[in-house]
Amino acid sequence: MLLILKKAMNSSYNAKTLIDISEEFIIWQESVRNLSKNSVIAYENDLKTLTSFFNDSIFIKDISLQDLRSCISKLSKAKKAATSINRFISAVRSLFLYAHRLGYIDVNVALGLKNVKVPQKVPAFMTQTEVNAMCDEPEKNEILWQERDSALFEMMYSSGCRVSEMASLKMTDFSADYTSAKIRGKGNKDRRVFFSDNAVNALKKYLLVRKAVVVQDKIVHQVFLNQKGKALTAHGIRYIIARYSSVEGTNKPVTPHAFRHTFATSLLSNGADVRIVQELLGHASISTTQRYTHVTTEQLIKMYNRSHPHGSGE
């Protein structure tokens, strides 16, 4: 009976255009799968790219594997990053899997797509001297808000949090002594991160003056605020870091992610187990964490000086 119904419905199902299916798929991801806003936006962007390669009236059943490969080829020629292309491929696979399961297409041609090779890049990180200078800069050079910025840098370095995670950190996320906090990361997965003594001390100093900018009778749950008393955004954090690492600060430009990279590199360089670092960073795959197991130039120099007969022995 189900087979008969499916066959009867196929004529109307197969009349679905690529745009129709894409819009339906996005609604399903948002309402049924309850994906995060950022994940939904990523799907929307990739599927807009996909539909831009085809006529608005094309039916999804008429798209071939060769058509999809042609889309990928165009992205490569447009010099899109391999990681962006692979994200696009993943979105296309998910869309066609959805369409196949609901009977919109008889054959899932997207199964024949393969990811492009991603060049292995060593993550950019700061040396210990550089990260110390960055963390000390707010006290030496009050460019914006000394207490807040000092706490922000120390907490980013000691926890390895993503900039979006730090922006969304709430007062209720902390443990009673502020030495740890519950973080909601990618895929809405919770993990616990930890803060060093320097970070806790800097945070306590900031919280004492934070009260002064909070508008009376208005509760702001986020920890980090701008000087108008509103929650600091990820963009705002990037701006703060850019100011302190510019010519008016350390004059060594860094990104928020450099704190995360430095956190991971420091732990692994000092013997931390890669799986523990994976858990602290909130990585879904250990291969992502293993990018940080490179040997730093500083380590090579120390090893050379200790081991070579004409080395300094330091």
C-alpha to C-alpha distance for 281 and 260, rounded to whole angstroms: 8
Catalytic residue among 69, 257, 291, 294: 257
Q: Which of 61, 210, 260, 261 is catalytic?
A: 260
For residue 257, indicate whether it is catalytic: yes
**Cα–Cα distance between 115 and 138 in angstroms, integer?**
44
Among 61, 162, 210, 261, which one carries the catalytic annotation? 162
Q: Residues 117, 82: contact at Cβ < 8 Å?
A: yes
Residue whose pair of structure tokens reads 């050379």 in the numeric block? 304
Q: Are 209 and 218 in contact (CB under 8 A)?
A: no
Q: Which of 148, 210, 261, 283 is catalytic?
A: 283
Instruction: State yes or no: is 308 an active-site residue.
Output: no
Active-site residue (options: 186, 191, 252, 302) = 186
What span, in angstroms and rounded, lies between the C-alpha atoms of 156 and 190?
A: 17
261 catalytically annotated: no
Asked if 278 and 286 count as a contact pair (C-beta separation under 8 A), the reply is yes
Phi and psi (nearest 5°) for 59?
-85, 145
β-strand 180-184 against 190-194: which pairing, if any?
antiparallel
Alpha helices in 211-296 (DSSP H): 234-244, 256-269, 274-281, 286-289
- Let me know if 162 is a catalytic residue: yes
Q: Alpha-carbon distance 30 to 257, whole Å?
A: 28
Q: CB under 8 Å to 106, separation ≥6 — which residues? A: 10, 61, 100
Active site residues: 162, 186, 257, 260, 283, 292
